[in-house]
Amino acid sequence: MSDNPAQTDAENHVEVFRVLGHETRLRLLTLLAAGEHAVSEIDAASGIGQPGLSQQLAILRKARLVITRRAAKQVYYRVDPVALEQASKLLAHLASTAAPDSPRLEPTIPARGRTAGSAANFARMV
C-alpha cells in the first residue's frame, strides 16, 4: 500500500472490483444481498461446497465486502453496505463524467490468445 491517499483509494477500488469480477463471489454477494445467512445456509443455497465456499468467503472478508458475526458455533455473513456504496459512488462518478451525447467507442481489447497486448510486448514498450 502507498502513503499517497489517492493511490491507496485507487488500490482499494481495484481490489474491490477484482473481487466483484469473480462469478462465484458475485453470486455469493447476490445471495447475501437478501439478508444475513449462516454458512450452512450459504452452502446449501450456493451448491459450491467446502472448501471452495470457505475460500471465497475469506476473499470477500479480506476485501471487506461482508460482515460476519458469530453465534455459538454458527458464523453469519451479510453484505457490508458501506464498502459497496463506495464502489457504487466511484462508478456513478465515472458514469457522470461521460457526456450523454458522446459517441460510444468499441472496446479495443484484443481477444484471448493474441499476443499484441501481452505483458512481454508491454514490457518492451516501457
CA–CA separation, 63 and 83 (whole Å): 9
Beta bridge partners of 68: 77
Mean pLDDT of the chain: 81
Share of the chain above pLDDT 70, in %: 71
Taking residue 94's Cβ as centre, other Cβ atoms within 10 Å add up to 9
pTM as predicted: 0.68
Task: Tell me: pLDDT of 123 over 60.
Answer: no
Mean pLDDT to the nearest integer, 74-81: 95
Domain coordinates in residue numbering, the chain: 5-92
Cell 479480506 belongs to which residue? Answer: 62
Topology of domain 5-92, CATH: Arc Repressor Mutant, subunit A (1.10.10)
